Amino acid sequence: MTTDGANRIDDSFQLYDLRVEVVCPPGKRIMCGAKDGDYFILEGEMLKLPPGQGISIYSLCAITLNQRVTSPNDWISTDAEVACPDPNCPSRLRIIRTSIRTYKHGDVTIVSLRDKENESKNSAS
C-alpha cells in the first residue's frame, strides 16, 4: 500500500491468469480422476472448466500461489509443474501464467485498508 502527495492510497494488486493442464504418464494408474490433457482456466477468482470436465478440489491448493507476483528467483516463478497432492498418484499439473491483471482492493472487498492499518498500529501499542 502506498500513498501519493494527496494522501490517496494506491490499493492496486496484480494476479496472473492461469491455464492449468493435467499431465499423466502413459500407462500409469491415475488416482485423482484426472485425464491427460484435462485443463481449467483461472481468471482472477473465477475457475472455468470445459463442459464435461472436472478437477479434484484437492488439486486447487497447489496452484493459487502461482497467481501471485513472485520474485524471479523464487521457485514458483520457474517451476511449471507440480505433483498431484495425492501421494499415490503420478499425475502432475502444468501451470502456465497466461496474462496478468490489476485489481483494486476496494473493488474486491468492503474492508478498508485504512481500517486495517489503524488496527495494526493499535495492536502494536
Number of domains in the chain: 1
Within a domain: 70: yes
Burial class of residue 61, CB neighbours in 10 A (0-12, 13-18, 19+): exposed
Within a domain: 96: yes
Assess whether pLDDT exceeds 90 at residue 68.
yes
pLDDT of 117 reads 62
Whole domain around residue 43: which residue ranges? 12-123
Give residue 124's pLDDT band: very low, low, confident or very high (50, 70, 90): low
pLDDT of 101 reads 95
Within a domain: 6: no
Of residues 123 and 67, more confidently modeled = 67
Give residue 41's pLDDT band: very low, low, confident or very high (50, 70, 90): very high
DSSP SS3 for 39: strand
Give the range among 5-14, 28-37, 39-48, 61-70 with minimum mean pLDDT: 5-14
Burial class of residue 66, CB neighbours in 10 A (0-12, 13-18, 19+): buried
